[in-house]
Structures are given as C-alpha cells and as structure tokens.
Amino acid sequence: MAAGFSCMNSLTVIQASQGLAKYLKDKHPDSASGGVVIGHDARHNSAKFAALAANAFISQQIPVWFYSEPSVTPSVPFGVTHLKAAAGIMITASHVCFLDSKKQKMKIKTNSPVEPGTRQRYFKNGAQINTPIDVEIAQSIEENLAPWSGAWKDLQECEYLHADAYKTILPHYTKTVWDYANSTVSDWKQPRPFVYTPLHGVGGLVFPDLCQSVGITEFTPVPEQVEPNPDFPTVSFPNPEEAGALDLAMQTADREGKTLIIAHDPDADRFAAAEKVDGSWFSFTGNHIGVLLASHLFDSLENRKDGKRIAVLNSTVSTGMLEKMATAKGIQFEEALTGFKWMGNIARCLEGEGYNVPYAFEEALGYMFPAVCHDKDGITAAMVFLAAQAKWQSQGLTPYMKLQQLFNEYGHYETLNNYFRSPNPETTMALFRAIRNGPYRAEKTLGPFKILRWRDMTEGYDSGTTDNKPTLPVDKSSQMLTLWLDQDVRFTFRASGTEPKVKLYVESCGASREQAVDAVCNAFLAVLKEWVVPFAPSMTYSRQMPTSSGHVFQISE
C-alpha cells in the first residue's frame, strides 16, 4: 500500500473498479443486473477501498452486495454463486506480497499486464478471473483511468446498495461449510481438543462461532491473536507457512496441554495445522494436508451411487502424491498451473463435462471444495480436517500417524521448497537464458542425475508428450521449467511474478524417508552448482533450509 500506479491506493482502486464496472455494463449487460459482491478484510484501509470500489458500480447502476463488516475471503466467491451475481471483489492482501507485517500490498489475481495489483476478482461462475477475460478487463481499465464524478465520495444509501449483504450471506456460507464437512463422515464425532489462531485476521470472527454452533467446544483460541489487528503485533510475518508464525499458538497449546493446532491466514482462505509428536511440534506442509484431506474425501466417496466420474486436481508445483492416490482409486487427476484462477476454472470445465470435482489444492496451504466455492477456502478446509481427525482418532490414529500410513502405502514423498533472491530482473532472465542455451536438455544430465523429461512452459516444449508440446497453457511472459529426474525426483524452477525471487520446488518419492531426503537435497545442490552459481552468482540463498519431514539441510560455503 503506497503511492503510485503500481501500488495499492485509493486511485488505483477507483481505476480498476471503473474498468471492471464498465466492462460488465458494456460486455455483459444481462448479467450485470445480478450485481457485484464486494468484501474486505480487516487490514488498514480495506473498508475504505471497498467503499470506493462500490461507488464505481453504483454509478453504472450495477447493484452492489456490500459486505460492510470484515469478511472471510471465501465468503465472496460463495456469495457470487449464491446470489447469481455478475462478479465479486475481495479487498485483501496476498500472502506473498507483504512489504512488511504492518503494510498492505495487494496481488492481482489475473494475468493483466497493466492492471495495478489490488484485489481478488471473481466472475459469475464463482472462480477467479482468468484469460481471456482478464485482458479485456485490463483494456477497459486503461480506457477509464480518470475518476468519474462522485468517485471519491463516501458510500451512501441508494437503491443499488445492499449494505447488509454479509449478514445475509454469512449464515448461508457457514451452513454450507458445516453441511459439507458433515457429509464427509457417516457419523460425526467430536475432534480432539485443539488451539486455534487466526493470526490477527478475520477467521477469528467466523470460525470459533461456527465451531460452537455445531457443538465443537473443546478448543482454545490464542487470546493475543483471536481479534483482528491490522498491525499484526505478535508475528513478524503473518503467513502460517513462515517459520515462527505458529510459535504463540504452540506456547498456548503447551500451557493448555493440547497437542493439535488449527490456524488460518489473516483473510482465512488458507489453512494450516500442527501436531505435537513425541514431545516436539510438527507443522504439516500444504502438501501433507493436501493428501490427508484427499485420503479422507476419497474414503467418503467410495459408496456413492450417482455414477458420476470423479476428478481432482492440484498445481504443477504441488506434490505428485495426489496423482498416485487418485490413479489407485480410479479417479481422474488433472494438473494445473499455479493458482486457483486456474484450478477453479478447470474444475468448472470438468463439472460441465459431467465430472464430480470434490477437491483441489496447492502446496501453499490452499484447498478448494467446489461444493462450497470455487476458490481456496480455509474455513471449509479446517472443518473437513476436524471431521477427518475425529474419524482417524476413532481408528487409533492421529493426523501425523495417518500421514505415515499413507507414505507406507504410496511411498515417502519428501519436498524441499526454497528460493534464490535475485538482485534484478536482468539477472533472472540471464539465468534462464543460460540454462536453455546449455547442454542439459540435449545431454539429459544434471549433476549426478539423469534427466528423464524436460518441460519448458515459457518456450512451449515438453519432451514427455507425443508432439513435444505441453498440455498446460504456455506463458512466454513468465519463466518456468519442470524436470523429471531419475531417483523419482521432480522439480520446478520458476521466476516469481510478484517478488525478486526464483523459486525451486523439489520432490522425491523414496522407499524410505532417508532415501527421499537424500534425493531432494542432492537435486537442490545440482541446481545450485550447475545453474545458479555459474550463471547467476549474484543471487543469494539460505544456507540452512528444512525439508518437509523436518530434516535441516545445511549447505556449506
């Protein structure tokens, strides 16, 4: 949040809102009458920005279903489909775009090359806006940059403003969440006592009340973090993926004698969990939770009689374990590019083809349940996880024990996800150019590994397909390579679109934890020594990084 056309501020909110409003009015006049759902979180100025956005639509006589209170992000895409609205907007912050813990920095959820990073947008199908609609909206924004008359005024009552929409929608949303979670078990059982933290976000306004309403009472909110606070005073970085984010929750759990933690990020669209194992806290990765929830949902689908084909999906940087699990169950698996703008829309397409799509996830703690909404949904994920945990508990298993059971069945999947910090875009481009010009693809080797398959999503090449073309959409404006190696290793190397980083996602499936750990560490070293050090020596990186099972990988000087 700062001055300038590339930052989040009142002017860029007005410009983006005017562009979307004009696009709906001109290109989708029939659906525009259904209105737009607008929500906001509890961060600084979010309510102000939401009101400015609403003005733009009201000026075009487009009804606004306005969430006047801080709202959880998944309630917006839910509201879009529930109300049959034309679109939805959520004023919130991306977990990858903070300048620091006290400042708001928004991420656009489209591919627009000109649109300022501001907020998440949903179209009438309840999924995030994607190509080609994003390009059309971007053009409309360019054509409507000058603030319209009344753009800066306070939001006022009028026939097009439904100011109490959140009070109407929230009960429907929470009932749908509960009904869905309850439907995944034959007999609802009480989960074990847990500690809950929303990390100073809006989840604390919804999740505890939802639990109480369905009889889940044995939980302790972290008192210092349960109320929304846009300054995030108890965490240095309010992202449950970050080391230290759950420290206060762990201290609370230790004090209360509880061994399970349930957590949401500040806008409650992502979900995290931790369990005390042999006296130490184990934080589940997004991939861990992803396959745990998948296993639970697969069990719940076994006796279905509607005859529909089932499909699940995850992103290309997420674990390959989901595909193996789905294949074993006769379930269709689909791979998607990173982000729920892809998975939500692919799920809609699959549903149009007659599939039942119960689930999708990505490794960054995002989980989608289309029966509730077509975007990541931390509230539903937490309730489904509690249903699964209670079921496993009746079988004598904890979530951690269930995860080990799955590893015994499908192989031990280990991941090592980290990044290299780039000093400038030129260095990043030079790195990828040198990799493509090097001998690796032709010689099919990278350090000690054999290259079995090479996929370049920038150049549009895939050695693993019959026509050597990727099945996923090619994006020449981004940099992304995925390699499959021997020792059952796969990694994706991609330039971040929002930060000065090149991210590396490494995974191996081994017969044992030790074998898989060795493989991911050796693959990381191969990328470092063969690519980063010779081609981008100015890039920096951590010398100490954890793998998914808790092994700490030390890189010598």
- Give the residue numbers annotated as catalytic, written as ranges: 94
Inter-residue contact 138 to 350 (CB < 8 Å):
no
Residue tagged 């999708």 (tokens): 360
Q: The dihedral of CA 66, 71, 74, 75: what is its sign? A: negative
Please give the Cα distance from 309 to 299 (Å, whole number): 15
Cα–Cα separations (whole angstroms), residue 255 to 136, 248, 324, 353, 537:
54, 11, 40, 51, 46
Nearest to 137 by CA among 22, 50, 8, 7: 22
Helix (H, G, I), strand (E, B) or coil at 228: coil
Helix (H) or strand (E) holding 62: none
Strand partners, 313: 334, 360
Helix (H, G, I), strand (E, B) or coil at 251: helix
Start-end of H helices in 145-206:
165-183
Please give the Cα distance from 516 to 195 (Å, whole number): 32
Inter-residue contact 128 to 376 (CB < 8 Å):
no
Please give the Cα distance from 332 to 9 (Å, whole number): 43
Read off the tokens for 198.
């929303």
DSSP string, 472-486: SPP-TTS-EEEEEET
Helix (H, G, I), strand (E, B) or coil at 402: helix
Helix (H, G, I), strand (E, B) or coil at 452: strand
**Going by C-beta distance under 8 Å and a sequence separation of 6 or more, which residues neighbour residue 126?**
77, 78, 80, 81, 88, 344, 373, 374, 375
Please give the Cα distance from 364 to 382 (Å, whole number): 15
Q: What are phi and psi of 462, to 5 degrees?
A: -150, 115
Work out the number of other CB atoms within 10 angstroms of the CB of residue 251.
Answer: 13
Please give the Cα distance from 390 to 182 (Å, whole number): 11
Do the bridges between strand 480-485 and strand 489-495 make them parallel or antiparallel, or are there none, so unpaired?
antiparallel
Cis peptide before 63 (omega within 30 of 0): no
Helix (H, G, I), strand (E, B) or coil at 44: coil
Nearest to 219 by CA among 274, 179, 256: 256
Inter-residue contact 382 to 207 (CB < 8 Å):
yes
Please give the Cα distance from 440 to 485 (Å, whole number): 12
Read off the tokens for 88.
């939805």
